[in-house]
Structure 1
Amino acid sequence: MKQLGQKILDIRKRKGLSQEELSEHAGISLRTLQRIEKNESEPRGYTLQSICQALGVDVEEVYDYGKEPDKGVLLLMHLSVLSYLLMPLGNLIFPLIIWVTQKKKVLHVHEQGISLLNFQITWSLVTYPLMLTFVWMKILHSPIWWYILIAYLVLYFSNALYAIFVSWRVSKVAERSPYPFSLGILKV
């Protein structure tokens, strides 16, 4: 596991910032930042928060609180979305259980779980009313029931395909999950 100073150094270089720029943006002295990056001292509280804010990253991304990387848990969480094929709201229940039980133990579960759950909540708020509209239109013998059914089926199966795609992507690069849009109900 990388030391904290090395992680800050790696992120700073990835962002293309010099030590002077980062220390200025974070509101700390250049010497303090140099000691931190050399692992001569460890930032705490306000200093760590200021550095992370200046780098545009979460404190959790830099200071992992002893979390271990486990792609198996990440894959299970993303693939558990497919349970909606067998059980209504399974796409919310099972990922939520994994997120709640593993977010403090496994690296990246917290932020990926929030992204996944926000997407699934949004998806559910669109597809379940659409399904009810389809049933209602079918009962009323409305001619548009066919179009509603097609829209519903496209959304229904595209969620499964997207869950498989995200799981594949997470197995290759475990740091970010590519969920596009959501209502953002859960916050990091």
Structure 2
Amino acid sequence: MIGKKVREIRIRKGLTQAELAKKSKLTQRTIQRVELDKNTPRDYTLKQISTALGIDIAMFDKTLEKPKSLWASLLKLSWLVVLNIFLMTVIGYATLDSNANTNSRITAFLLSFSLPFLIASQTPKTTSWSRVLQYGSGFIFYLILIVVQHYNLLWSVGFKTGLIPCLILGLSTLYFVKYNGNRGTYSLN
């Protein structure tokens, strides 16, 4: 894929392989290998070629991404499941436990803001919806479960204990908080 792009841009600029090799200070054989996609070029090679062609090296970044293996995807999925179960357990225990008092409910309220805030600050490149679906799916599941299971007791179980406000606050924080890593500032979407 990289080779195809290099070839297209080289032809569009009206350069031969020899001219590009001379301009990029690489061998003609290296240019041929890159264009034929015989191997993945090193960063130095891509930098030299992009400089010679007058293009940004970031143009090649998307084509360099390797597809994730099944094992890596399963590992990430299992990590997200464990994290969501942990978040559900902490918020649920602090609000629904029979011994839950005002202090534990305040703790649940603070955790339902601070944990999603921490997640949002560590995932600045993730879109809001993606962040909510990945890290807030436990909250969504918990909300649905409370509404379906305790529909008649929604006020006493959901709102009076503080569970539903905590879950909504957590989801809102995941969706609305945006961290700008360049400036080190937070903003709302």
Name the TM-score class by shorter chain: 0.3 to 0.5
Taking structure 1 as the reference length, the TM-score comes to 0.33
Taking structure 2 as the reference length, the TM-score comes to 0.33
Q: Per residue, is there more strand in 1 or in 2?
A: 2
